[in-house]
Amino acid sequence: MAIMALIAANVLAVVLHSVPELEARFGREFHAFEVFSVAVFAAEYLARLWSCVEDPHYRGALRGRLRFALRPLVLIDLLAVLPFLVMVAPVDLRVLRAARLFRLVRLLKMGRYITALALFRTVLRQKREELVLSVAFMAVLLVVSSSIMYFVENGTQPDKFSSIPESMWWAVATLTTVGYGDVTPVTPLGRIAAGLISIVGIGRFALPTAVLGAGFVEAVQARREAPACPHCGGALR
C-alpha cells in the first residue's frame, strides 16, 4: 500500500510540475520528492533483484538474476528509475524535458500490486485472436471509407479530399464518432455516404467491447469456480 501511494503521489507530482507557477514556487520540493522516490524505487528494484534467486525458477547468481531482470514487470521497475538518472546526466535540455514525461511510466508499476490488472492481461491473452480480427476490420473499414469519400468529394473539394491518405483524417474522425467538423462532405452523395459510415462506425466499437466484456465474464467465472487454498485463499493449480 505504501508503494502504491508513492506511485500515485509521483504521478500527481508530474502533473503539478507541468504548471509553470507551481514549478517556480515549489521547484526544490519537487526535486526533493523526486530524489526520495527514486531512492525508494531503486531500493525496491535492487531488493527484488537480490532476492529473486530464492525462487527455483531463477536459480543462479548471474543467469537467474538476468532472467529475472528481463521480465516485463521488472523492466518497468527499472524504467521507473532510469529517467532520473538521465535528468542528472550532462545532456541536452531537450532530452531532460522529454525524460520528465517518461516518469509517468511509474504508473505502470501498479500492475504488480493490482490483481485486476492481472485479470485484464489474462483476458487480452485469451482474446487476442478476436481483438486482432477487430483491429483488422477497423483498418479495412478505414481504407474503404476514405476511398469512398475521396472518389465522391474530390471533384468538389480537391483541397480537403486531395487523396485517399488525406481523406483518412476525415474517416478516423467519423468512425470514432468524434466528428471535428473541420472536413465535411458537401455533395448529397457524400453526405449519404458519411451518414452510413457514421452508423457503421458506431457498430464497429461494439465488436472489441463485446469481445472484452465476454472475456472478463469468462475469466471472473473461472476464477470463482477454481478451487481455493483454505489457508491463503489463493487458487490451487
Q: Which residue, of 62, 83, 113, is where some domain finishes?
A: 113
Overall average pLDDT of the 220-234 stretch: 64
Q: Do residue 170 and residue 215 come from a single domain? A: yes
Which of 187, 188, 148 shows the shortest CA–CA distance to 170?
Answer: 148
CATH of the domain at 144: 1.10.287.70
Quick one: 103 exposed, middle or buried, by C-beta within 10 A (0-12, 13-18, 19+)?
buried
Q: How far, in Å, CA of 72 to CA of 231, rounded?
A: 30
Q: Do residue 18 and residue 99 come from a single domain? A: yes
Name the grid cell of 18. Answer: 507541468
Percentage of residues in the chain having pLDDT higher than 70: 78
The secondary structure of residue 182, as a DSSP letter, is S
Helix or strand (DSSP H, E) at 209: helix 188-225
Domain residue limits at 203: 126-225
Residue 52 has pLDDT above 60, yes or no: yes
Task: Give the pLDDT of residue 120.
Answer: 75
> Is there a domain that residue 67 lies in?
yes
**How many CB atoms sit inside 10 A of residue 80's CB?**
25
Q: Do residue 57 and residue 107 come from a single domain? A: yes
Span 26-35, pLDDT tens digits: 888 988 988 8
Overall average pLDDT of the 202-222 stretch: 76
**How many CB atoms sit inside 10 A of residue 47's CB?**
10
Please give the mean pLDDT across all residues of the chain. 79
Which of 80, 13, 12 shows the shortest CA–CA distance to 43?
Answer: 80
Task: Give the pLDDT of residue 192.
Answer: 92
| C-alpha pair distances (Å), 177 with each of 54, 65, 137, 141, 152 | 52, 48, 17, 14, 20
Q: How far, in Å, CA of 80 to CA of 111, rounded?
A: 13
**Residue 228: what are its φ and ψ, rounded to 5°?**
-110, 150
Q: Do residue 183 and residue 219 come from a single domain? A: yes
CB under 8 Å to 229, separation ≥6 — which residues? 235, 236
pLDDT category, 227, cuts 50, 70, 90? low
Q: Do residue 93 and residue 164 come from a single domain? A: no
Q: Which residue, of 63, 89, 113, is where some domain finishes?
A: 113
Overall average pLDDT of the 119-147 stretch: 83
Q: Do residue 147 and residue 181 come from a single domain? A: yes
Q: How far, in Å, CA of 5 to CA of 1, rounded?
A: 6
CATH of the domain at 35: 1.20.120.350
Span 71-123, pLDDT tens digits: 877 887 887 777 776 666 555 444 444 555 566 666 666 666 666 666 777 78
Q: Which residue, of 46, 79, 113, is where some domain finishes?
A: 113
CB under 8 Å to 70, separation ≥6 — which residues? none
Q: How far, in Å, CA of 115 to CA of 113, rounded?
A: 6
Q: How far, in Å, CA of 173 to CA of 170, rounded?
A: 5
Q: Do residue 59 and residue 144 come from a single domain? A: no
> Is there a domain that residue 70 lies in?
yes
> Is there a domain that residue 73 lies in?
yes
- Per the structure, how many domains does the chain have? 2
Q: Do residue 55 and residue 14 come from a single domain? A: yes
Span 166-204, pLDDT tens digits: 888 888 888 877 767 778 888 999 899 988 888 888 777
> Is there a domain that residue 234 lies in?
no
